[in-house]
Amino acid sequence: MASALDTLLQQQLAALDAAHRRRRLRPVSWADGQMRDASGRALIDASSNDYLGLSQHPLVKARAAEWALRHGAGAPASRLITGTRDITLAVEEKLAAFKGCEAALLFSSGFQANATVIPALARVGAGDTANATAIFSDELNHASIVHGCRVSRAKTQVFHHNDLSHLDDLLRQHAGKPGRKLILTESVFSMDGDRADIAALVQLAAHHGAALYVDEAHASGVLGPQGRGLAAECGGVDIVMGTLGKAFGAFGAYIAGSRTLIDWLVNRCPGFIYTTALPPAVLGAVDAALDLVPGMDADRARLACNAQRLRDALALRSYDTLKSSTQIIPAVIGSEADALAAAQRLDSAGVLAVAIRPPTVPYGTSRLRFALGSHLDDEAMDRLLTAVAEL
């Protein structure tokens, strides 16, 4: 017999089914550089975050294997016990140099970093209490940032998406009040594919005496000089978060900033203190990716071209791509059922493009979320655009 809990959970899952919001795992595999579904059918990958194709790069795979063989399969403990090896410190130093910062600190995932670094920062000053900091967060920030704000228990004010005038008004209202101010934004927004005006945010933060925290998950490796991210174009960002499982083709995340910031996180960030260190294979993959990414301007140019071709094709079919200007291109459809049907039609044409539905995106804006890679050649892009044209 089903337990009372299972009965309740089955009812909740049935409600998600009825609303076309139930999520299901879909297995895929890679063979000879080609994505395949469970039946072995080849698919054009138009949904992953492997923007530069580095997860399949020979050097990245070889160094991951080499470091695993040399240093072991796993890390022995958390970083503050015996998990800090010379290779860990070397990768962090290399990351800091890549980001143009004094120091960097590795985390297990972007969600973990945002969800635990933000609360740690919110408690700096004013007696290290939850009310020490007022947070100002873009309304389209990633769920991990939202979670970090909630866990911090700090007063959080949400400003309209990319509306710096609204943010300025909120900051002015806080003028003269005790405590610090922390502005949170993504540089490339994960669902809409548009960009924040980092230079203007830096100026606004300086004017109001606020610290600026920028999530560069979808920009690192892809945008900015040599793929160093949008924050690298202007400087002045206090805290930079980035991930290593997207354009870097590996796994994990990092915080980059001043040496003082990193030392503080080592002492007060629970997501760092109480987590086992990254394993050698991951460190090797990241190390190789850092060697490759600065020299991949041609790949970044191809990625930008692929994205523009898709935006143009979607515009011909009257799909709203919002303000996408990056490798992330939404095709807003509306209802959950219609978005799922469109994804299924593309799947039948051999294209994997995932339907994104509430609560990830606002009600009535269910969409196909395309996330392209530079590894998509002209033949793959032609097939993708043909499938889009037949929607």
Active site residues: 49, 142, 186, 190, 215, 218, 246
Per the rule left: phi > 0, alpha: psi between -120 and 50, beta: everything else, 62 is alpha
In the sheet with 34-37, reading across from the earlier edge strand, the strands are: 28-31, 34-37, 42-45, 351-352
In the sheet with 133-138, reading across from the earlier edge strand, the strands are: 103-107, 253-257, 239-243, 211-215, 180-186, 133-138, 155-159
Report the interhelical angle of 58-71 vs 280-292 (nearest 10°). Answer: 150
180 vs 363: CA distance, rounded Å: 34
| Element at 352 (helix H, strand E) | strand 351-352
Among 224, 212, 281, 219, smallest CA distance to 252 is for 281
Among 178, 181, 110, smallest CA distance to 148 is for 110
Instruction: Decide: 284 and 248 in contact? Cβ < 8 Å.
Output: no
311 to 129, 193, 266, 346, 371: CA distances (angstroms): 47, 11, 43, 16, 12
Q: Which two tokens stand for residue 363?
A: 């009600």
Q: Which two tokens stand for residue 58?
A: 């020979």
103 to 109, 151, 186, 240, 356: CA distances (angstroms): 18, 26, 20, 11, 36
Instruction: Decide: 368 and 339 in contact? Cβ < 8 Å.
Output: yes
Instruction: Match 């051999």 to its residue by tokens.
Output: 350
Instruction: Match 């071709």 to its residue by tokens.
Output: 309
Among 158, 234, 239, 230, smallest CA distance to 194 is for 230
